[in-house]
Amino acid sequence: MSSRSKPGSALKEEYTRELHVDEWRVFWRNLRCAFIAETIPGMIYREMMNALGFLAKPYFFRFQAIPGFITVNMLVNEGYSPKEALEKYAWLHTIGGRGKAEIVEADLDKPKVVVKVYDPAITQWFRRNVKNVKTEFPFYDCSWLGYSWVGAVKAALSEGSGGSIPVTYDSGKCFALGDEYCEFHVERSEREEDPFQDLEEDYLTHSLHSKSVKSIAHASSGRMNEKIWKLIDMLEVRGDGEICIGRERILLVEGGMYSLAQMLLPVELFGGVVYGAYMRSHLDYGRFLAKQGRKYGLERVLDFFLSSASSMGWGKLELVEFEESRVVLGTYQSIYAETAKDYIAKTGLKRRPVCTYGWVVEGILNYFAEVEGKPPFVSKEEKCVAKGDNYCEFVLSRKTS
Ligand SMILES: [Zn+2]
Ligand SMILES: [Zn+2]
């Protein structure tokens, strides 16, 4: 089932059945999700590997086990058998535009699960944007995909007695390195290496499950958002497991896990280097958008970013103030903040702002500031739902010197 390609209309049908929109939030079944251009994770992952080298795996990529774990755990809680839940996860992989995923072996007693991914997103970005992946990153192996499957298998094992077995992956083949597809072998870790070390697994299992029940109640209240459905209508399907808008490849990601997997936990455990790389890649993405849209001018590029991020399910982003030396951006229902807030409350972590949108806007403003020979802006998230405010607010001020 997971291996069949989906023609465009069938995919829309699946989306209509399984996606719910509630104001500015998008849910796949019970999970908060978002659409994202593959350029963004591409830039983040390249920057992480530049900054951290082979430590990118333990310091950053391993947290990608979280979205896989949460998704399969949710499916098992809904009544799928562990194997069915893994098949469904492979299917989400495919219709979510991450590339067609095929489970070629699933022996949960061993345990051993082997997955092939064709036309993997982000990996394709690396092939296009990094001249020689192997030379530049000798340790490269599409860790984000590998760990997401580790999380998925771990959740499938938790149903039986295998929940405490440390599992990890080996990358057999890799599309970025010239193979036809990526292949991951998820098995017991011989060195007892456990990507779930230091993670609040209990929290991930229970609280997100109860939260998802709430979200369904929300979603069925029927508050639809036309802008989001319009975006879904614009998605085109190409090949197997490829979704695009125009030239840009788009993925549906378990975005609610983004703030945990990409930012909150790596920064909590490994601090400034991860934070710095994360910030730089968002600034770069802003500059990239500005450069692409240079001929349309600053205001139209800004408007494009704010309205597309809003329609993609990241929260409602809008300009509150737009002056020569001061720009204020308000964000409501931010996917980062709403997930992080619950996690912080449960685990007693330090409450702090967690959203990324201000950096992208800073990158856009500063590209144009540079063109005009003016001093750059610096952004600060002054208010954030994750630290207890009612909404998020970024203040961008032009440097005075
Ligand atoms: Zn690969
Ligand atoms: Zn925030």
Which CATH number is 388's domain given?
3.30.1380.20
* Same domain assignment for residues 34 and 119: yes
The Cα 148–Cα 96 span in angstroms is 14
Domain count, the chain: 2
247 occurs within a structural domain: no
Ligand nearest to C-alpha 145: 1
Distance (Å) from CA 317 to ligand 2 centroid: 11
Distance (Å) from CA 264 to ligand 2 centroid: 12
- pLDDT of 160: 61
Distance (Å) from CA 386 to ligand 1 centroid: 34
- pLDDT of 31: 87
Distance (Å) from CA 176 to ligand 1 centroid: 5
User: What's the predicted TM-score (pTM) here?
Assistant: 0.90
CATH number of the domain at 203, please.
3.30.1380
Ligand nearest to C-alpha 333: 2
Distance (Å) from CA 318 to ligand 2 centroid: 13
The Cα 181–Cα 280 span in angstroms is 30
Distance (Å) from CA 172 to ligand 1 centroid: 9
Q: Which domain holds residue 70?
A: 8-209
Distance (Å) from CA 282 to ligand 2 centroid: 15
* Same domain assignment for residues 34 and 124: yes
Distance (Å) from CA 307 to ligand 1 centroid: 32
Distance (Å) from CA 277 to ligand 2 centroid: 18
The Cα 259–Cα 336 span in angstroms is 5
* Same domain assignment for residues 162 and 275: no
- pLDDT of 221: 45
263 occurs within a structural domain: no
Ligand nearest to C-alpha 392: 2
Distance (Å) from CA 144 to ligand 1 centroid: 9
333 occurs within a structural domain: yes
230 occurs within a structural domain: no
* Same domain assignment for residues 184 and 316: no
Query: What's the alpha-carbon Rg for the chain, to the nearest Å?
Result: 20
Ligand nearest to C-alpha 330: 2
55 occurs within a structural domain: yes
Q: Which of 163, 180, 209 is the last residue in one of the domains?
A: 209
DSSP annotation string for 167-205: EEEEEEE-GGGT-SSEEEEEEE-TT---TTTTS-HHIII
163 occurs within a structural domain: yes
Distance (Å) from CA 309 to ligand 1 centroid: 27
258 occurs within a structural domain: no
- pLDDT of 210: 44
From residue 190, give the alpha-carbon distance in Å to each of 108, 120, 169, 186: 16, 28, 11, 12
Q: Which of 193, 209, 225 is the last residue in one of the domains?
A: 209
Q: Which of 209, 227, 244 is the last residue in one of the domains?
A: 209
* Same domain assignment for residues 190 and 301: no
* Same domain assignment for residues 85 and 14: yes
* Same domain assignment for residues 198 and 341: no
* Same domain assignment for residues 288 and 162: no
65 occurs within a structural domain: yes
Q: What is the pLDDT along the chain (401 residues), one digit of tens a residue?
A: 333 444 556 666 777 788 889 899 999 888 899 999 999 999 999 999 999 999 999 999 999 999 999 899 889 988 999 999 999 999 999 888 999 999 999 999 999 999 999 999 999 999 999 999 999 999 999 999 999 999 999 999 986 666 678 899 999 899 999 999 999 999 998 887 788 777 766 666 655 554 444 444 444 445 568 899 888 888 888 777 788 988 899 999 987 777 788 888 888 888 888 899 999 999 999 999 999 999 999 999 999 999 999 999 999 999 999 999 999 999 999 999 998 888 888 888 888 899 999 999 999 999 999 999 999 999 999 999 999 999 999 999 999 86
Distance (Å) from CA 206 to ligand 2 centroid: 24
* CA-closest candidate to residue 159, choices 95, 76, 52: 76
- pLDDT of 159: 67
